[in-house]
């Protein structure tokens, strides 16, 4: 099936559902989750998270999305039957705001679909207002 | 002012921001509710030139744009903002800012994840899958408006109807929980 993996980005990859596990090809991990499994561990850019037992990430030569998220220390909810998984953005970034009082970066589109990053307004004081039509 | 709509579609947002001159972004995945531990709207966060948070999550406004549907007077908060902009006056000490926003619980994080799955399924036209996850999200975070109230228009409910009033009463009885500084007359 085509599965949708939600994390910092949205990845759509081929996957199989087996026993509640959502399994993907290791080669698809970067497009699914933005991380790559290397001998050093799970890597994203210059950052690598060592993985104690890489074999435990696999089910049948495929990567178990939930196991990868857990290895990254990220809470995740996987609906294998529906082929949709959501992985949390990470406590470190939130702690940066709560304890560190440093505004975590984000990239969001305006109403015309043009993406903007928080950094765009660096050098200005900002009132960030979260609102909604509801 | 940088406004971010925790809404699913730009069509829902446009009517509320007609004619405004400040940037308006949309966050259908509710990334900010996780990154900034936001549990209700409107939430205002003061961020300085170096992207430091000088006043964390609070129910307050920089303008009266939203006064109509929140009932919160902008004036006292506006005055604090003015003092910050003109004199660099900080609204609260950093020590207070650091403890003002309680962290999200594991259930509140899980609720956000279920909500994201729900909106994704809904966009894929899979209402049954969506419904299950909206339901689970609401169970995990019953006092989180960005979960329960946001789900109302996405599940055929009315965010301004009886369901909302019932939710509001439940929330009040639970002590009106909110991740951040409560609405005050001035800061």
Can you spell out the DSSP letters for B138-176? HHH-TT-HHHHHHHTGGGT--TTSHHHHHHHHHHHHTT-
Kindly give the interhelix angle for B106-123 and B127-140, rounded to the nearest 10 degrees: 160
The answer to whether residues B130 and B66 belong to one domain is no
pLDDT above 60 (res B68): no
The answer to whether residues B136 and B72 belong to one domain is no
The last residue of one of the domains, among B66, B83, B100, is: B100
Could you state, in order of their start, the residue ranges of all structural domains in chain A?
A: 2-87
* % of chain A surpassing 70 pLDDT: 100
Whether B64 is covered by a domain: the verdict is yes
d(CA A85, CA A42) in angstroms, rounded, equals 18
- Please give the C-alpha separations between residue A72 and each of A34, B69, B93, in angstroms, as whole numbers: 12, 41, 34
Report which DSSP code applies to A112: T
Per-residue model confidence (pLDDT) at position B67: 61
Q: Which of A103, A106, A116 to mutate to test the interface with B (most CBs of B within 10 A)?
A: A103
Q: Are A127 and B103 within 8 A, CB to CB?
A: no
Give the number of other Cβ atoms within 10 Å of residue B136's Cβ: 19
Q: Does B7 touch chain A (CB under 8 A)?
A: yes
Banded pLDDT at B32 (limits 50, 70, 90)? very high
The answer to whether residues B86 and B123 belong to one domain is no
The last residue of one of the domains, among B100, B117, B151, is: B100
Chain A CB contacts of B14 under 8 Å are 111
Whether B79 is covered by a domain: the verdict is yes
The answer to whether residues B95 and B163 belong to one domain is no
The answer to whether residues B120 and B91 belong to one domain is no
Q: pTM, whole model, 2 decimals? A: 0.94
- Please give the C-alpha separations between residue A16 and each of A22, A101, B89, in angstroms, as whole numbers: 6, 41, 56
Whether B178 is covered by a domain: the verdict is no
d(CA A56, CA A58) in angstroms, rounded, equals 5
Q: Are B126 and A107 in contact (CB under 8 A)?
A: no
Per-residue model confidence (pLDDT) at position B71: 58
pLDDT above 90 (res B81): no
**Shortest CA distance to B35 belongs to which of B109, B106, B128?**
B109
Task: Kindly report, residue by residue over A4-36, the tens digit of the pLDDT.
Answer: 999 999 999 999 999 999 999 999 999 999 999
Q: Are B81 and B38 in contact (CB under 8 A)?
A: no
How many domains is chain B built from?
2
The last residue of one of the domains, among B100, B117, B150, is: B100
Whether B182 is covered by a domain: the verdict is no
d(CA A130, CA B24) in angstroms, rounded, equals 10
Based on DSSP, count helices (H) and strands (E) in chain B, helices before strands: 9, 4
The answer to whether residues B94 and B110 belong to one domain is no
Banded pLDDT at B78 (limits 50, 70, 90)? confident
Q: What ipTM does this complex have? A: 0.96
Name every residue whose Cβ is closer than 8 Å to that of residue B123 and which is 6 or more positions away in sequence: B8
Mean pLDDT of B56-81: 72
Banded pLDDT at B187 (limits 50, 70, 90)? very low
Q: Are A127 and B62 within 8 A, CB to CB?
A: yes
For B93: left if phi > 0, alpha if psi spans -120 to 50, otherwise beta; the answer is: beta
Task: Give the range of the structural domain holding residue B120, as residue numbers without chain letter.
Answer: 106-173
Whether B180 is covered by a domain: the verdict is no
Q: List A residues 26-65 in contact with B (Cβ-Cβ < 8 A).
A: none
- Please give the C-alpha separations between residue B90 and each of B80, B97, B186, in angstroms, as whole numbers: 9, 11, 13
Pairing of strands A2-6, A84-87: parallel
Per-residue model confidence (pLDDT) at position B76: 78
Greatest CA separation for chain B? 54
Q: Are A111 and B17 within 8 A, CB to CB?
A: yes
Whether B184 is covered by a domain: the verdict is no
Give chain B's mean pLDDT: 90
The answer to whether residues B63 and B139 belong to one domain is no
């Amino acid at each position: 099936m085509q599965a949708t993996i939600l994390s910092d980005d949205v990845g759509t990859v081929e996957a199989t559902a087996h026993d509640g596990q959502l399994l993907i090809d290791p080669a698809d991990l970067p497009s699914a989750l933005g991380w790559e499994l290397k001998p050093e561990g799970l890597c994203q850019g210059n950052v690598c998270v060592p993985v104690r037992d890489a074999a435990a990430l696999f089910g049948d030569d495929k990567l178990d999305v939930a196991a990868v998220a857990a290895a990254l220390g990220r809470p995740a909810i996987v609906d294998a039957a529906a082929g949709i998984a959501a992985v949390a953005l990470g406590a470190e970034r939130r702690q940066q705001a709560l304890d560190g009082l440093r505004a975590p970066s984000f990239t969001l589109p305006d109403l015309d679909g043009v993406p903007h990053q928080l950094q765009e307004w660096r050098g200005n004081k900002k009132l960030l207002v979260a609102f909604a039509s509801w | 002012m940088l406004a971010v709509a925790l809404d699913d579609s730009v069509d829902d947002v446009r009517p509320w921001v007609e004619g405004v001159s400040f940037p308006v972004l949309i966050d259908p995945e509710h990334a900010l509710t996780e990154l900034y531990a936001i549990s209700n709207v409107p939430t205002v966060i003061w961020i300085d030139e170096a992207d430091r948070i000088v006043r964390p999550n609070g129910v307050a406004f920089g303008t009266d744009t939203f006064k109509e549907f929140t009932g919160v007077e902008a004036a006292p908060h506006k005055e604090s903002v003015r003092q910050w902009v003109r004199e660099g006056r900080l609204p609260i000490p950093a020590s207070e800012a650091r403890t003002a926003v309680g962290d999200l619980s594991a259930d509140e994080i899980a609720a956000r994840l279920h909500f994201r799955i729900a909106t994704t399924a809904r966009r894929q036209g899979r209402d049954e899958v969506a419904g299950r996850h909206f339901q689970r999200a609401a169970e995990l975070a019953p006092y989180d408006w960005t979960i329960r109230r946001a789900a109302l228009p996405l599940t055929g409910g009315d965010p301004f109807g009886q369901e909302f009033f019932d939710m509001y009463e439940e929330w009040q009885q639970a002590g009106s929980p909110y991740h951040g500084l409560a609405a005050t007359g001035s800061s």
